[in-house]
Amino acid sequence: FGGEVKDGRIYGRGACDMKGGIAAALFAAAALREAGVTLRGSLEFSATVDEETGGFAGMDYLAREGLISPERTSYVIIPEPFGPGRICLGHRGVYWFRVDTIGRTAHGSMPFLGVSAISQMERFLRQVSKDLAPALRTRRTEIPVDPPEARRATINVNGITGGQTDGNVGSPCVADRCSAIFDRRYLKEESFEDVKKEIETLIAHLAAANPDFKAELTDLMNVRPVETDPDAELVGTAAGAIEDLTGAPAEYVASPGTYDHKHVHNTGRVKQCIAYGPGLLHLAHQPDEYCEIEHLVRSCEVMAVTTARLLGVN
């Protein structure tokens, strides 16, 4: 939390994701103002705090209230850490869901009298690893998701709980319930309906093969993939600013995870949205997180020039 500066980097929690981006965007707006640039339009700066937990009380709230809408918003730049030479056009979809396996409790000394929900969850996890995960690895999007490994569909077990434990004190019972939360990232080429149907089919097949297998599926969150047209005015203008200021053409990428673009596009109905900002994405959520100071300065310059060119200097 110290914000230490060393070897041209600023270190600290969130320095990359995404205090660096917030600082670069804020100073871009300040630079335009201090330079006396008068824009033919309004420039708004919004900082929200809940993007990591879904963004529903932040960016989605602004969009629901009409503060981000086609009537008053032409362009949106979200300063996520993709580096000063890259423009992020969108992200994969995400389906978070919970599976609860239901067993029958019994005394731990006589497990044969019960049905372990943990054992039933193990059956489900084994089928996910054996059947679903290999199938997902065969699906690949043409969208330039970075890193390239994320161009394939994926599934992860985010967490699992089961049994009757209280701290380190065990309870001698057969677990009658076990819950696991899954994170399924899906591609633009996949439909949510098919994604969910795969999970339902997996559960149905296990139940048909084993009368003791009982499971419930609960939707937690669904975000469909989004992508801004590479030929959009915002994309071209930002790319031109990047090339003019760095001497190299901009690289177009997409994000492996979701960010507030989904709310700008889906709720706000604003189609010209990109993510652009300082930092390196793989450093996010890591120990010794840092942001290159050169990235901060260059991204600030690009955002200022892009804004001036889009809104037009009066």
Structure tokens at 54: 């879904």
In a shared domain, residues 250 and 147? no
pLDDT of residue 18: 92
CATH code (residue 105): 3.30.70.360
- The CA distance from 111 to 176, in Å, is 11
Q: Which among 223, 247, 282 is the end of a domain? A: 223
Number of domains in the chain: 2
227, 117 contact by CB (below 8 A): no
Beta strands in the chain (DSSP E): 5-6, 9-11, 76-78, 86-91, 93-102, 154-162, 177-186, 215-223, 226-227, 251-255, 273-275, 290-292
Q: What SS3 class is residue 62?
A: helix
For 56-105, how does the pLDDT look when each residue is reduced to its tens digit (9 = 90+)?
Answer: 999 999 999 999 999 999 999 999 999 999 999 999 999 999 999 999 99
Instruction: Point out which residues pair with 20 in neighbouring strands.
Output: none
pLDDT of residue 168: 61
In a shared domain, residues 214 and 110? yes
Q: Which among 223, 257, 277 is the end of a domain? A: 223
CATH code (residue 72): 3.40.630.10
Range of the domain at 155: 93-223
In a shared domain, residues 303 and 281? yes
Going across the sheet that includes 5-6, the strands are 5-6, 9-11, 290-292
In a shared domain, residues 74 and 126? no
What residue ranges of the chain have pLDDT lower than 70?
A: 165-170, 314
In a shared domain, residues 98 and 219? yes
pLDDT of residue 164: 76
pLDDT of residue 169: 63
pLDDT of residue 54: 84
